[in-house]
Amino acid sequence: ADYIKMNPSYLSRLFKNELNKNFIDCLTDLRMSQAIRLIQQGVDNVKELSSRVGYLYPSYFCKQFKKYTGHTVSDFKRNH
C-alpha cells in the first residue's frame, strides 16, 4: 500500500472484491504452494523451507503448513 501510495484498508477491500480472498489468504496460498514445490524438489530442512517461502519463524511456518495441508512437514515429505 505504501509503495503505490494507497490507503491499506482500501487496498485490502479492493483485493478482497477482486479475488474473493483477503491478502493474507492469497499470500499463504502462494507460500504453501512454493513450500510444497520445494519439498518435492528435495528441500527438507524446515528452517530453510520457512525462510525460502517468507516466514521468519520456523515454528509458525510449521503451524501454518499443518493448517494448510493437514500434515506436518515430515509427514508430508514421507507421503508425497
Provide the pLDDT confidence category of residue 63 given band limits of 50, 70 and 90.
very high
pLDDT tens digits along 9-62: 898 899 899 999 998 999 999 999 999 999 999 998 999 999 999 999 999 999
Q: Give the predicted TM-score (pTM) of the model.
A: 0.85
Whether 1 shows a pLDDT value over 90: the answer reads: no
Q: What is the per-residue pLDDT for 41?
A: 94
- 42 burial type by CB count under 10 A (0-12 exposed, 13-18 middle, 19+ buried): exposed
Q: What is the per-residue pLDDT for 80?
A: 82
Task: Name which residue leads in pLDDT, 64 or 2.
Answer: 64
What does the alpha-carbon distance between residue 72 and residue 78 come to, in Å, rounded to a whole number? Answer: 10
